[in-house]
Structure 1
Amino acid sequence: MIRSLRVRLMLAAALLALLFMLALLPALQKAFSLALQESIEQRLASDATTLISAARIEQGRLQMPDQLPDERYNLPYTGLIGYIFDRDGKLVWRSRATADRDINYQPRYDGRGNEFARIRQDNGEEFFVYDVEVKLLGGKSAAYSIVALQPVREYQDTLEGLQEKLYLGFGAALLALLVLLWAGLTWGLRSLRRLSVELDQVESGARQGLSGEHPRELLRLTGSLNRLLHSEREQRQRYRDSLDDLAHSLKTPLAVLQGVGESMGHGSGEREQARVLQSQIERMSQQIDYQLQRASLRKSGLVRDRVLLAPLLDSLCNTLAKVYRDKHVAITLVVPAQAEIPMEQGAALELLGNLLENAYRLCLGQVRVSLSETPDSLLLCIEDDGPGVPTDQRERILQRGERLDRQHPGQGIGLAVVKDIIDSYDAQLSLDDSPLGGAAFRIVFKRG
């Protein structure tokens, strides 16, 4: 299937032009043929007139001069064929060019005065004939038929030459037309190319909407797209506000319950109940975070956000360094200062926060974050020098509630949140062994 609009229009226009020329060609050939025959008729009529002007009647007999006014009649190889017949159809004069020809022709006295016809000989040779009936000196007995002939072969050669030139002319015209059509389509589709560039800029976040500098035929489309973009931004903002309100409403009661559980834990008899309460409150809190994060995820639409990676990593690493200050983790960041990833800031914080917290918690003392770029993708890699993940367990830990580390509290939903975020942005997550000795989480973002 042809996916290029310009190629489709070009093929359609070329097909229509070819069909038009094929339909026009027979009409032009017919017109050329009629014009050529009319020209032959006029020339033969002129030749017959030359013979009539030279004819004389002396003592009731036709007399023709030895040298005719038209020199072509006086030469044997000019191809100028002329005959004169009397009223009885008897040949009384012939031109010198007919000396080696035996043309079978009988004049017709039908009162028409002159006749232009095409005759065919027994040997297949054809001639154009112009026959004029004249009554020299007004006498009835002095009626003659003046005949001028021309071989059809000359007409056919001329017509074939014209047809060949016509084919070449039509071919050149079609080629020139295709070049002009291609140039015209290229110029005409520049507006669509400009619209595509603006959509790419909107998608990358370089502009907020489409401009109004487009042809009238596209203004309705650009207006609809701008309204869609505005609606999408408003809807995203409403989602964020609603999620923030929900989080605030749920977090406060959970904090109160957690405080009550800590108070209950001071009594020896209630310690077990307090531990169960604290565990359930922590699980509820993590589940709320997980469900809020899932609700805020969406497939990338017309607007794609981009966020600087280095500032996010600095902020997260500073926070985690305080949480794990007794571990003295050495963090290595191999990230260009202006590098961006195609994500919303909130989603990027959740993604990097879960992966870095996992790396800080499980490492022995080293964590490395690197970003590499190719023309088609971005590769973000988070590594640690911890125990790593066995090959047969790598798929399982990405599922909700699955954990390999049982020494630290948690419900095993951090990596599930990570996978949901990555899936929502059409990225790819893989888990490998790191050169540092632990696990390496590799995330591949496709360039838009």
Structure 2
Amino acid sequence: MLAATTLAVLFMLALLPAMQGAFSLALQDSIEQRLASDVTTLISAARIENGRLVMPNQLPDERFNLTDFRLLGYIYDREGHLVWRSKATQEEQINYKPRYDGLGNEFARIREVNGQEFFVYDVEVKLLGGKSAAFSIVALQPVREYETTLEGLRENLYLGFGAALLVLLALLWIGLTWGLKALRQLSQELDEIEGGTRESLTEQHPRELLRLTGSLNRLLLSERQQRSRYRDSLDDLAHSLKTPLAVLQGVSEDMAQRPEDRDQAWVLQSQIERMSQQISYQLQRASLRKSGLVRHQVRLQPVLKSLCDTLDKVYRDKRVRVAFDLPEHCYVPIEQGALLEMMGNLLENAYRLCLGEVRISVRESLAGIELCIEDDGPGVPPDQRARILERGERLDAQHPGQGIGLAVVKDIIESYSAKLALGDSPMGGAAFRIHFPAV
């Protein structure tokens, strides 16, 4: 609409001078024709008697006879001497000298010393009443009348073009609104697909969009099938590896009972543990990444309440106090399964390492949502913060674990175009800050 409006305005601005020029030329043509008619009136009234020019006291055109009219008439001889002037010229002092050069007639615009401008129509006459004569018969009209008329035409032109532009813009708005209605409907359906309330686009679209909607539906179906096959393949792979790993684990335990094989058993058990970590990490990573076009919104407070209730039972002897600082109806743009896995890992770390207090806060702004989990534990040294986000890395060696929790959290966060920052908390421990950008 902005582009169409700009083009319409530019077209009107370019057309306006052309229309003004056309009106000006038409008006000058009409003035020339009228002055030619006035000169004809003077010629028809002139007589030659005894070689002298004789003009009647009352001319056929009354405008020449009245002093308050601005129709000016002059007659000059061959040498340029004034031999007659109309009554309307008595108050005018015009220094006009005709050129008797045999060219017939001339229409021109002259400027006097005092700044006044006149249109002049000059006709050379060689015969008057059938007798030989040599005169220049001139009719003049002040330019200010022409300018007044042209200014009135210009004002009407501005008003007309302004009204036409408004009508044109209204028609453009109606046409574009009607023409883009189908695209707005398509956009609404895509929003519903991203929100998870619709699985595919309908076929209730104009013929021109059916190829696009069909391609998008095939893309959505292919994406869902590919993810399903990907997860099934990983599940099958993990299931098929469980039995060999269990056998190897049993063999390593038997070997560990023999003193001479304890070193080999330790190497075997460490490699089995590493394989288990890799399998668990890849399974969680594949199942919890963002899914295609679908955009989810999950209410945060019920998920946190459920996780904290579970962790309170696990760490009941510790009696952890959890403080919530978040709006009641706060939503985060993430799948519920991914949110449970991410917050479960972060809260489990906070419960395990805190002295007795954990705080969960949310800050909403135009830039997005920031979720922060803090505790009053020992914190994480600055030089170790990047390392603990790598899979298989752990700072806490006193508790069992595979060291993949924070790596999974990092992968989940990055798959949703969010950012994870690890810093110090005012409570004394670590602060995990997750920033989800505004959608």
What TM-score do you get using the length of structure 2 for normalisation?
A: 0.75
Seen in structure 2, the aligned counterparts of structure 1 residues 344 and 45 have a Cα distance that, compared at 3 Å, is closer
Q: Which of 20, 25, 33 is equivalent to 2:17?
A: 25
Residue of structure 1 in register with 2:64 after alignment: 73
Q: 1:341 and 2:332 equivalent?
A: yes
Cα distance change on mapping 1:129 and 1:420 into 2, 3 Å: same
1:414 alignment partner AA: G
Long gaps (5+) in structure 1: 1-5
The CA distance in 1 between the partners of 2:375 and 2:167, in whole Å, is: 66
> Judging changes above 3 Å, is the alpha-carbon distance between structure 1 residues 284 and 133 closer, same or farther for their aligned structure 2 residues?
same
Aligned counterpart for 2:408 among listed residues 386, 407, 417: 417
Q: Please state if 1:293 is matched with 2:284.
A: yes
Please, which of 345, 348, 365 is the counterpart of residue 357 of structure 1?
348
Partner Cα distance (2:352, 2:80) in 1: 127
Equivalent residues in 2 for 1:181-192, closer than 5 Å: 183=173, 187=177, 192=183
Cα separation, partners in 2 of 1:308 and 1:157, compared to 1, 3 Å: closer
Say yes or no: does 1:128 pair with 2:121.
yes
Unaligned runs of 5+ in 2: none
User: Which residue in the other structure is 1:402 paired with?
Assistant: 393
* 1:304 Cα deviation from its structure 2 partner: 2.4
Q: Which moved more, 1:187-196 or 1:388-397?
A: 187-196
Does the 8 Å CA contact 1:103/1:121 hold for their aligned counterparts? no
**Residue matched to 1:231:** 222
2:255 paired with 1:249: no
Instruction: Answer yes or no: is the 8 Å Cα contact 1:41–1:130 preserved in 2.
Output: no
Tell me the distance in 1 between the aligned counterparts of 2:81 and 2:435.
Answer: 105
Q: Count residues in correspondence.
A: 432
In structure 2, relative to structure 1, the CA distance for the partners of 1:248 and 1:146 (3 Å cut) is: same
Alignment match, 2:195: 204
CA displacement at 1:419 relative to structure 2: 1.7
Distance 1:108 1:226 in 2: 87
Give the SS at the match of 1:400: coil
Q: 1:150 corresponds to which residue?
A: 140
The answer to whether structure 1 residue 427 and structure 2 residue 418 are counterparts is yes
**More off after superposition, 333-342 vs 278-287:** 333-342
Q: Is the 8 A contact 1:45 1:148 kept in 2?
A: no
Q: Which amino acid in the other structure matches residue 26 of structure 2?
A: A
What is the TM-score with the length of structure 1 in the denominator? 0.73
Tell me the alpha carbon deviations over residues 227-256 of structure 1, each in whole angstroms, 9 at most, x when there is no partner: 322322222222222222222222343344
Change (3 A) 1:267 1:330: farther
Mapped contact 2:38–2:139 kept (Cα < 8 A): no
1:246-292 Cα shifts (integer Å, max 9, x gaps): 22222343344445555676788877776665554333212211133
Partner SS for 1:381: strand
| Distance change (3 Å), C-alpha of 1:303 and 1:135 | same
Q: Work out the CA distance in 2 between the residues paired with 1:246 and 1:338.
A: 40
- C-alpha change, 1:267 and 1:49, in structure 2 (3 Å) is closer
Kept in 2, the 8 Å contact 1:128–1:152? The answer is no
Deviation per CA, 1:179-223: give whole Å up to 9, x if none. Answer: 548845873556555544544443333433445565555444344
**Match of 1:36, as an amino acid?**
L
Instruction: Please tell me the root mean square deviation across aligned C-alpha atoms, in Å.
Output: 4.6
Asked whether the equivalents of residues 320 and 357 of structure 2 are also in contact (C-alpha less than 8 Å), the reply is: yes
| Alignment match, 1:3 | none
Which residue type is aligned with residue 379 of structure 1? E
Summarize deviations over 1:338-392 as a string: whole Å, max 9, x none.
6443233443343233323333433445555454544543333334443332344
| 1:382 counterpart residue number | 373
**Given the superposition, is the C-alpha separation of residues 281 and 319 from structure 1 closer, same or farther in structure 2, using an over 3 Å criterion?**
farther
The residue type equivalent to 2:139 in the other structure is L
Work out whether residues 386 and 438 of structure 1, in 8 Å CA contact, stay in contact via their aligned partners in 2: yes
Q: Is the 8 A contact 1:36 1:155 kept in 2?
A: no
Q: Is the 8 A contact 1:366 1:385 kept in 2?
A: yes
How far did 1:50 drift? Answer: 4.1
- Give 1:149 shift: 0.9
1:44 aligned onto 2:48: no
Q: What SS class does the counterpart of residue 225 from structure 2 fall into?
A: helix
Q: Distance in 2 between matches of 1:268 and 1:146?
A: 140
2-side partners of 1:273 and 1:319: how far apart? 40
Distance 1:84 1:315 in 2: 111
Alpha-carbon offset, residue 426 of structure 1: 1.8
Q: Name the CA shift for 1:17/1:379 in 2 (closer, same or farther; >3 Å).
A: same
